[in-house]
């Protein structure tokens, strides 16, 4: 027997019509189910008018609408303030309850509380479900029933829980098609889909970059990666090699199911078809759960160091620091791997994971600039921006986060370049002015004899900048800067 006459499923960062927790629970408990997506004014108003993420979402919402229509339903798409749009739509449709999936970001939690309050005042409920992670909140705890702060023991506990509860059960996809007769249809054109222009946005270079959108795009990428998974551990650190899955933006907007990805990794491990890469890829997926847990348990990490002592560090912040920061943003530091990585980010909205670590370390520990500046810039530029992972990554690089690298571990941008882009193939892709330099010389052009620079057409200070800083000198200053952490710890003791 159905518990509800009519319900509304509120899609957010879960833009798919399959294996969807909130959609499944609404369909299984209701006689009629409506579906909606809100282009939230609170989010969109702060974005540039040409934003690849908005275009990606728009294309994915169009595909979701088509998929729901095939199932017998519709997708109501609105543009407005979510806190009022959802309660108003629930009232207009006369639903008994709204179903949606959990979000773990502080602002999203506050938004959901406001929506729940408005719905409750009208006699309706807000029902939320776990969907975008395998384990959440307090589901994986230490033996003392405390949240983990170190990844490896968290991962071990995560795997133990998965096997104890039967991974087949935990990872089983949520059934949708069985209940397709319960989708509510609407009069055609009653809720027309707003165009990008009507939302106030312009087209970007998303299609030129061949970034696949929607559920089909996510599936195509997963199928492609399946044939490369066995080499993932060997290829993932080299930016000129097709090593990653490239699924991060699809995970961010839920056009793929995290359960299906974990199943694929486990199948590769069990059958041997995933080689040694499957276990490493699974570990990366567990990192994602870990950072969601950290953000939920410690919302203070938004704007503050996970390790409070690290907030005592004094960063460069004068006018010169602003100049250095702009040079870093623009890919003009004089260190080719750093610059190529930043140009990749600016031109495509994507940055290879190894390069995220290299560029972050350079900003923080070579330029002495607050990690929050870099975190904010990545948040503006990344197609796959996710608060929990972005914050976790930047705090890892700054040594201020949970399970972070030690403060005295400072990436050398030259040796990183020599190790992970030995022939300079990636550098040449984004810095064509250096393309005639040899693989030996391309990593540090200022060290190249003047005659060879001239023959390669490189004019330092003209068509390619001189280094902003000398790494060895910057490293020494960083160790001095971080000495305050040790002094604070000694004072507390």
Which residues are catalytically annotated?
Answer: 284, 287, 315, 353, 371, 394
Edge-first strand listing for the sheet containing 97-101: 76-80, 30-40, 4-11, 97-101, 125-129
Closest among 1, 70, 66, 75 to 33, alpha carbons compared: 75
Closest among 197, 236, 210 to 58, alpha carbons compared: 197
Q: Three-state SS for 188?
A: coil
- Mention every residue, 6+ apart, whose C-beta is less than 8 A from residue 311: 304, 305, 400
| 115 close to 98: Cβ distance less than 8 angstroms | yes
- Here the tokens at position 432 are 């064509």
Q: Three-state SS for 45?
A: coil
Q: Could you tell me which residues are beta bridge partners of residue 8?
A: 34, 98
Residues, the chain: 493
For residue 13, with 0-12 CB atoms within 10 Å meaning exposed, 13-18 middle and 19 or more buried, which class applies? middle
Q: Where are the alpha helices (DSSP H) in 301-409?
A: 319-329, 336-348, 353-361, 371-381, 387-398
Rounded CA gap, 335 and 445, in Å? Answer: 8
Rounded CA gap, 163 and 178, in Å? Answer: 28
Closest among 342, 293, 345, 298 to 468, alpha carbons compared: 342
Rounded CA gap, 63 and 69, in Å? Answer: 10
């Amino acid at each position: 027997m159905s518990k509800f006459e009519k319900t509304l499923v509120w899609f957010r960062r879960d833009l798919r019509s399959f294996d969807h927790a909130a959609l499944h629970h609404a369909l299984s408990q209701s006689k009629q189910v409506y579906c909606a997506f809100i282009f939230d004014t609170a989010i969109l108003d702060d974005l540039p008018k040409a934003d690849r993420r908005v275009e990606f979402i728009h294309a994915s919402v169009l595909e979701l609408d088509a998929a729901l229509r095939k199932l017998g339903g519709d997708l109501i798409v609105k543009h407005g303030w979510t806190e009022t749009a959802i309660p108003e739509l629930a009232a207009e449709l006369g639903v008994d309850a709204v179903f949606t999936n959990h979000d773990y970001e502080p602002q999203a939690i506050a938004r959901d509380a406001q929506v729940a309050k408005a719905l409750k005042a009208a006699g309706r409920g807000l029902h939320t479900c776990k969907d975008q992670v395998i384990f959440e909140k307090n589901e994986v705890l230490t033996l003392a029933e405390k949240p983990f702060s170190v990844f490896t023991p968290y991962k071990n506990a995560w795997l133990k829980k998965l096997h104890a509860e039967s991974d087949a059960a935990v990872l089983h996809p949520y059934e949708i098609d069985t209940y397709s007769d319960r989708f509510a249809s609407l009069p055609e054109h009653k809720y027309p889909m707003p165009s990008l222009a009507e939302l106030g946005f312009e087209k970007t270079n998303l299609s030129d970059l061949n970034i696949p959108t929607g559920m089909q795009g996510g599936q195509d990428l997963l199928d492609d990666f399946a044939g490369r998974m066995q080499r993932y551990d060997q290829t993932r650190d080299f930016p000129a090699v097709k090593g990653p899955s490239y699924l991060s933006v699809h995970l961010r907007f839920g056009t793929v199911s995290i359960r299906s990805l974990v199943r694929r990794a486990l199948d590769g491990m069990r059958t041997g078809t995933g080689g040694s890469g499957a276990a490493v890829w699974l570990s990366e997926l567990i990192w994602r759960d870990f950072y969601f847990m950290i953000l939920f348990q410690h919302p203070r990490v938004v704007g503050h160091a996970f390790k409070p002592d690290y907030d005592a560090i004094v960063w460069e912040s004068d006018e010169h620091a602003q100049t250095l920061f702009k040079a870093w943003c623009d890919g003009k530091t004089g260190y080719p791997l750093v610059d190529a990585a930043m140009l990749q980010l600016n031109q495509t909205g994507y940055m290879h994971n190894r390069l995220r670590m290299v560029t972050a370390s350079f900003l923080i520990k070579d330029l002495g600039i607050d990690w929050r500046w870099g975190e904010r810039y990545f948040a503006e530029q990344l197609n796959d921006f996710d608060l929990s992972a972005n914050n976790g990554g930047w705090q890892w690089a700054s040594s201020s986060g949970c399970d972070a690298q030690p403060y005295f571990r400072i990436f050398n941008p030259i040796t990183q370049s020599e190790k992970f882009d030995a022939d300079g193939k990636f550098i040449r892709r984004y810095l064509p002015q250096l393309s005639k330099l040899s693989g030996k010389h391309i990593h540090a052009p200022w060290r190249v004899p003047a005659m060879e620079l001239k023959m390669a057409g490189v004019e330092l200070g003209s068509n390619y900048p001189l280094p902003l800083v000398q790494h060895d000198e910057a490293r020494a200053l960083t160790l001095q800067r971080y000495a305050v952490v040790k002094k604070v710890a000694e004072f507390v003791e």
